[in-house]
Amino acid sequence: MSRILVTGAAGFLGSFLCDRLLEDGHEVIGMDNRVSGQTENLEDAFYHDRFTLYEHDVTEFIHISGELDAVLHLASLASPVFYRDHPIKTLKVGALGTHKTLGLAKEKDATYLFTSTSEVYGDPEVNPQPESYRGNVDPYGPRSCYDESKRYGESLVRAYRDKHELDVRVARIFNTYGPRMRLDDGRVIPNFMKQALTGEDLTVYGDGEQTRSFCYVSDLIDGLVALLESDVEEPVNIGNPDERSINELAEIVLEVTGSDSGITHEELPPQDPQVRRPDISKVRSELGWEPEVSLRDGLRKSLGYFEERV
Ligand code: UDP
């Protein structure tokens, strides 16, 4: 059994990761300041007496008594709507929060996992994106608070590895969906599910020909755990390479929900990436991981959750 700190524990991915680590027999310390996390996501985790939750902002000094085997830094504002509303918090959690959690990992001699993002590739000029692609990011653009804080975070992780020989992992997470996403998350799948289930028109931004590649949450968690258990210190993409246009996604959501909602087009947010698809050759060969849940199946699995909440 290991003793593991998970930041962003009350968030969408953080809470599923806590559940998984608890099921695997570990002791889990969750940390969240609930800017975007929701305590109800931890209902299952609280059944375990090996779980504790600290309400703490990871941009402030973190004190944990006793040993830690791993520090997993998931705290972040990952939705474009949230990071547009909280750009300074987004920069702080990616930069200062990464610094504080790295300092803690160094102090405890713990393995450190950083959850980076496909946004480090910006609006990519190469599709699919291999880890070696350096990205096309505007440092002063509307998404830069997120993109640049994650790029800085990766750089800080690299520096701790080089300077302090910290054992590190870097996951570049691509679009992920599933139950526990907030209904007001603002990202495309919760928006479309909510709209389809309430009979509102689905809001496709721009011409809807932009693409994303959607990974179901259980696959993503399997990938993170495989990475943690590996010795791969270089960044790896974790995501599903099944690339779809937003128009296609809208049709699939209508089919899965059986909704007769229409589709309306709204303005494309500035600097919305035109394409996004992970090249997963590296994670496939080095970790033997690849996603298993198809988009239709993942949406069907998520349906009950969204139906309950609308
Ligand atoms: N999008 C959309 N309608 C919505 C929400 C998002 O058409 O109601 C589009 C958005 O413009 C982008 C894609 O869906 O092209 C994915 O957006 P999301 O906010 O989910 O995440 P991103 O991948 O941009 O971080």
pLDDT in tens, the chain (310 residues): 899 999 999 999 999 999 999 999 999 999 999 999 999 999 999 999 999 999 999 999 999 999 999 999 999 999 999 999 999 999 999 999 999 999 999 999 999 999 999 999 999 999 999 999 999 999 999 999 999 999 999 999 999 999 999 999 999 999 999 999 999 999 999 999 999 999 999 999 999 999 999 999 999 999 999 999 999 999 999 999 999 999 999 999 999 999 999 999 999 999 999 999 999 999 999 999 999 999 999 999 999 999 999 9
Regarding the beta carbon of 56 and ligand 1, being less than 6 Å apart is answered no
Question: 179-211+243-277+293-303: which CATH number, 2.60.40.10, 3.90.25.10, 3.30.590.10, 3.20.20.240?
Answer: 3.90.25.10
Nearest ligand 1 atom to alpha carbon 204? 7
Q: How is residue 42 annotated by DSSP? A: G
Q: How far is CA 171 from CA 204, 214, 274, in A?
A: 29, 16, 22
Regarding the beta carbon of 203 and ligand 1, being less than 6 Å apart is answered yes
Q: Domains of the chain: which residue ranges?
A: 3-176+215-241+279-287, 179-211+243-277+293-303
Domains 3-176+215-241+279-287 and 179-211+243-277+293-303 share a fold: no
The separation between CA 245 and the C-alpha centre of its own chain, rounded to angstroms, equals 20
Q: One-letter amino acid identity for 173? A: I
Task: Give the max Cα distance, the chain.
Answer: 58
**Residue nearest (by alpha carbon) to ligand 1 atom 24:** 272
